[in-house]
Every structure is written in structure tokens, then in C-alpha cells.
Amino acid sequence: MVEKQCIGFMSTPPLWVNAKFGVVQFEFPEIDLKRFRPDPIPTNLRLGHQIEYIFAQLIENSVNYSIAVQNLLVKKDLRTVGEIDFILVKSDTNQLVHVELTYKFYIIDPLISEPVHRLMGPNKRDMFFTKLEKIKTQQFKLLHTKEGIEALRPFSINPSELEHQTCFKAQLFIPYQYSSLNIRPLNQRCVSGFWLNFDQFRLSEFQEHSYYIPKKSEWIVEPYLEVKWKSHYDTLLDVNVRMIQQSSPLVWVKKPNNQFEKFFVVWF
């Protein structure tokens, strides 16, 4: 599974390219995955923490960067006020790069005109615009606070010498029956599937396919054949439970000739 997660991470495009919204996107280095053998990742971790392990292992196998700081807690009066994800060292220049890591799954609401406000988590509890502002106003600035400077002192790192970047990867899901959706200036290659509501999923056109509801740790993985596929009827029963719990599951669908798609069934 770890190998599949690493491949899924590497194949997920950045949500934007270069610098946009006042934030520089980290350009992930090339990794030879054929020779890459990742270490096991604790299965009891949340997906976000699993992705941190994936990022660290991939960077450690890169010739372009090394890791100087990883997951450093910043405290004030014994209270944690933030965390520094990664500080990397560029191999050719020794430049220090502060990287905040984010991997998100967003559905797109086409009724909202401004692209940065269209993106929300499948349970409506996570907004792209809010995360973007947090990166700019909190996570980047944290290193320049009194507490951040003190946390970096044992590493002999001067925050004024850092470049601030974010590795912001995302999978985007457009509304069902939309053939395409203009999301500029965001990266169109991030569109990974579609979203629909429970009544739409009950339509007859879905009945002849097979389905699998991946665990959260599998969301980053591309659909593959060797899972326990279920009928549309059985999947409806499982999804209905999630609807009652106000939880929007990711669903893989297997079509004829083993063609795969994925979508969210939203509860709202």
C-alpha cells in the first residue's frame, strides 16, 4: 500500500504552478520510483500525517534536497502555537527552503464565480480560501515570530535566510454531468473525478457497474483491480449509512473493460 500511496502522491499535480495568490509552489523533484523502496508507515495515523511520511521519504531519496527540519513544534509558555512542516536544503546552492505541505480533496461549486472560493472539502468543513490565507498569514509568518526564531535556534537557522514555499497538491471533483469546468488560474490537471448527491447515485445508469468505498488512507491511491468490489445495490446501502452520518464517501467505480473512475457522494 505504501508504494501505491507514494505513486499516488507523485502523480497528483500541484494545485497551481509557480507563484500565485502570493504563494510560491514547491517544484517537487524527479524521483526514480522503480528504485524507491519506502519504509512502512504507521497505519493508525491520519492521512495527513501519512502524507508527511511519504513526502519525507521521497525527499530523502532525491538528489536535489536534504531535510534539515521536519515537523518542528513551536511553543509559547509550554503551549504549542504552531508547527513547521519542513525546512529543506537545496543540494546545489545550500539554500534553505521552508515548505508547508498540504494535500487536499475538494469538490467544486460552479455557482460561485471566484475560483478560490469555489473549492471546498466534500463535507463542507474545509475551504481552500481559508487554508490559503492560513498559509500566508500564519504558517509562513510563524518562523519570524519570537517563538519561531527560538525554535530554530538549535538548528542554527536564521529565518530571514529562508525561502517560503508550499507543496500544495490536490484532487478536484467537478459536478456530475459537467464535461469540463474552467478553474483558471488553478491547475486543470488536478481534476480527478466528479461529485453527486445520493439521489443521483441511485439513477439507473449507475446500476450495472461495480463499486468500492476506499478507506481514507486509500484516497491518495489510484483505483486498482485487486479490491473487494460490490454491486450498486450493496454500495447504496453502505453509502446511505454515510449520508445519515453526514459523511461524504469517496467511491471507486469499475466499468466494463476494467475502466476506473472515482467520485464523491455528498450528504448535503
Using alpha carbons only, give the angle 130, 268, 134 rounded to the nearest 5 degrees.
Answer: 5
**Tens-digit pLDDT profile for residues 252-266:** 999 988 999 999 999
**Tens-digit pLDDT profile for residues 57-80:** 999 999 999 999 999 999 999 899
Confidence of residue 218 (pLDDT cuts 50, 70, 90): very high
- Percentage of residues of the chain with pLDDT beyond 70: 100
CB count in 10 Å sphere of residue 207:
11
- Global model pTM greater than 0.75: yes
**pLDDT tops 90 at residue 35:** no
